[in-house]
Amino acid sequence: MTSTMSFRWAMLAPVLTITGVAVGFPLGYALYLSLTDYRLTSRGAPNFIGLENYLFVLTDPRMWNAFSNTLAYVIVAVALQTVLGLTIALALQKQKWIRDLTRAMLLAPMFITPIAVGLTFRFLLNDQLGAIPAALRSIGISIDFFGPGNALMTLALIDVWQWTPFMVLLLLAGLESIPRQPIEAAKVDGASAWYTFRRVVLPLLTPVLTVAVLLRSLDALKVFEYVYATTRGGPGIETETIQYFTYQTGIQFFRLGEASAVAFVLLAIVMTLIVILFRRLQRSAPR
């Protein structure tokens, strides 16, 4: 019995060590910082202030504004990516010629670093220099892409441009792994293409779809580079996302304790969402 236990622990030791060093220590350190008044410019030991940082950030309207901006960004970006990604994946599944080349070209935006994408769009959407406003002007449309009311949606669309290929990749893999028999059976029964998609393909694709949406949502929650490269959170506080808010608080304004508290509040919310999604996924999985 004891030797079995020792063997189990010995087998677990490498992964526990790596997890402890790579995840546990930074997490523990951030938790510790969130309970102190630590500033980046401090040279002495910080003071323990209990939950003061948490009380401050939870009652700070700027934090909640940043959170709601981020949420709106994620919902718009991921919803569009899902619809577009699924549409493109369905089209690619039927493609017969130059499949590899098309897929490779479609994936290209994913390989560009997000800060470069942000800077590129900053000038591409510039009213005096950019190609997109020039094209729109030729048909009588004038839009201030980074202006009031538009900036957050513009950032979400940049995200859609860069990350829809990721959705395509996952959903195409999901579509190609669906067994052919149920689809063929539906066809034999005279089901229309739309009915087959809605009643057969979509339910079979749900586990992949859920994982894809989850992965993209978690990634979109981290939006920082586009904001940094284009709007810096403006106009006003319209595009101030939670990551940009945390960066400003912790790095730009030196208040690392407070920034750690914001990060932990976000972590708690995200973890809750992940648990809920995974439970749903488990319940909907075929037994």
Partner 1 sequence: MSTRRRGLLASMGLAAALALTISGCAGSGGVDAPDSSGLGDIPADTEGTVRILMESVPDTDIVVDLVASFNETYPGIEVEIETLAFDQMRDKLIASFQSSEPAYDLIVVDNPWMDDFVDAGFLEPLDARIDSTTDYQPEDFFQPLVDITEVEGVRYGVPFYNYALGYLYRTDLYDEAGMAVPNTLDELVANVQQLTTSDRAGIAMQPQRGYKIFEEWANWLFAAGGSIYDETGNPTLDTPEAAAALDAYIEAFTTAAPANSSNWAFDEAFRSVSSGQSASMISYNWNLPGLNDPDGASGELAGSFALAPMPGGKQVLGSWSWAIPANSAASDAAWAFAAWITSPAVDVERVVAGGAAIRESTLSNPTVLESGFGEDYYAAIIAILSDAAPLSQGLGGEEMIQAVGTELSEAVAGTKTVEEALADAQAAVERIQR
Closest approach, Cβ 36 to partner 1, in A, equals 7
Angle between helices 256-284 and 25-34 (to 10 degrees): 130
The DSSP bridge partners found for residue 240 are: none
Going from the C-alpha of 244 to that of each of 62, 238, 248, 259, the distances in angstroms are: 12, 12, 6, 11
Q: Which stretch binds partner 1 (CB under 8 A): 42-50, 171-179, 188-196, 216-224?
A: 42-50
Q: Which stretch binds partner 1 (CB under 8 A): 82-90, 97-105, 191-199, 250-258?
A: 250-258
What string of H, E and C letters represents the secondary structure of 181-217? Answer: HHHHHHHHCCCCHHHHHHHHHHHHHHHHHHHHHHHHH
| Site map 100..139 versus partner 1, x via CB under 8 A | --------------------------xxxx---x------
Tokens (6 digits) for 42: 């401090």
Is residue 40 part of the contact set for partner 1 (CB under 8 A)?
yes
Closest approach, Cβ 89 to partner 1, in A, equals 34
Measured between alpha carbons, how far is 220 from 152 in angstroms, rounded to an integer? 13
Is residue 244 part of the contact set for partner 1 (CB under 8 A)?
no
Closest approach, Cβ 48 to partner 1, in A, equals 9
Measured between alpha carbons, how far is 207 from 75 in angstroms, rounded to an integer? 19
Which of 8, 232 has the CB closer to partner 1? 232
Measured between alpha carbons, how far is 22 from 123 in angstroms, rounded to an integer? 38
The DSSP bridge partners found for residue 51 are: none
Among 99, 187, 232, 279, binds partner 1 (CB under 8 A): 232
Is residue 234 part of the contact set for partner 1 (CB under 8 A)?
yes
Measured between alpha carbons, how far is 32 from 53 in angstroms, rounded to an integer? 11
Is residue 59 part of the contact set for partner 1 (CB under 8 A)?
no
Minimal CA–CA distance to 71: which of 231, 233, 212, 270?
A: 270
Is residue 98 part of the contact set for partner 1 (CB under 8 A)?
no
Q: Which stretch binds partner 1 (CB under 8 A): 82-90, 202-210, 235-243, 277-285?
A: 235-243
Is residue 142 part of the contact set for partner 1 (CB under 8 A)?
yes
Minimal CA–CA distance to 90: which of 226, 205, 228?
A: 205
Q: Which stretch binds partner 1 (CB under 8 A): 67-75, 102-110, 225-233, 268-276?
A: 225-233
| Site map 148..187 versus partner 1, x via CB under 8 A | x--x------------------------------------
Q: Which stretch binds partner 1 (CB under 8 A): 41-49, 71-79, 176-184, 275-283?
A: 41-49
Minimal CA–CA distance to 225: which of 119, 79, 151, 72?
A: 119
Among 3, 43, 59, 94, binds partner 1 (CB under 8 A): 43
Q: Which stretch binds partner 1 (CB under 8 A): 31-39, 174-182, 193-201, 277-285?
A: 31-39
Measured between alpha carbons, how far is 266 from 268 in angstroms, rounded to an integer? 5
Going from the C-alpha of 38 to that of each of 19, 31, 33, the distances in angstroms are: 26, 12, 6
Contacting residues toward partner 1, per CB under 8 A: 25, 28-29, 32-33, 36, 38, 40-46, 126-129, 133, 142-148, 151, 230-238, 248, 251-254
